[in-house]
């Protein structure tokens, strides 16, 4: 009887190990721009000015501490800066309240960095970490890890391509 009791306890203890929640996902996008870092930072360093260069965002309002983004879909997200360092040409921020129709992720934090590149060029890296939209064990396809990765990749890639287009058109 004692062996049965121990085996039952061991089996019950193993059950939670088979359940799993979401794992953090990451995206990292980079672009090289034919402009010096100070020129690039003058544009991207305006945290609330993202709608001036990211075609994904139709409107952005706020300051260098907090912004509200309106996407092409009309949906909005609010983001807040955690670290802002103009001397290093970088900032890190996070989403405050999710809108799964705007982006199918439950939370994210992201960093944007401007670095010197070959010649008079700049490299801009935009990377983030996030969790899928549905943090349950069996999310629907539109709120899965893959959907979150695709949405965040598109958001960052579209933004970086828009930034390059804006700065190289001058």
Mean local confidence (pLDDT), 72-88:
96
Inter-axis angle of helices 37-44 and 145-168, to 10 degrees?
120
The C-alpha atoms of residue 112 and residue 125 are separated, in whole angstroms, by 6
Convert the pLDDT of each residue in 87-135 to its tens digit. Answer: 999 999 999 989 999 999 999 999 999 999 998 999 999 999 999 998 9
Mean local confidence (pLDDT), 41-51:
97
pLDDT in the model for residue 12: 47
């Amino acid at each position: 009887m004692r062996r049965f009791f121990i085996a039952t306890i061991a089996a019950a203890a193993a059950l939670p190990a088979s359940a799993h929640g979401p794992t953090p996902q990451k995206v990292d996008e980079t672009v090289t721009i034919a402009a010096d870092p100070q020129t690039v930072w003058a544009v991207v360093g305006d945290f609330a000015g993202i709608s001036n260069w990211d075609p994904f965002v139709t409107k952005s309002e706020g300051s260098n501490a907090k912004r509200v983004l309106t996407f092409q879909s009309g949906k909005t997200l609010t983001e807040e800066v955690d670290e802002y360092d103009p001397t290093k040409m970088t900032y890190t921020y996070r989403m405050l309240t999710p809108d799964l129709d705007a982006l199918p992720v439950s939370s994210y934090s992201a960093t944007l960095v401007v670095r010197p590149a070959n010649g008079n060029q700049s490299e801009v890296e935009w990377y983030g970490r996030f969790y899928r939209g549905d943090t349950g064990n069996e999310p629907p396809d539109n709120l899965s890890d893959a959907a979150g990765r695709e949405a965040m990749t598109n958001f960052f890639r579209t933004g970086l391509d828009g930034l390059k287009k804006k700065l190289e058109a001058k």
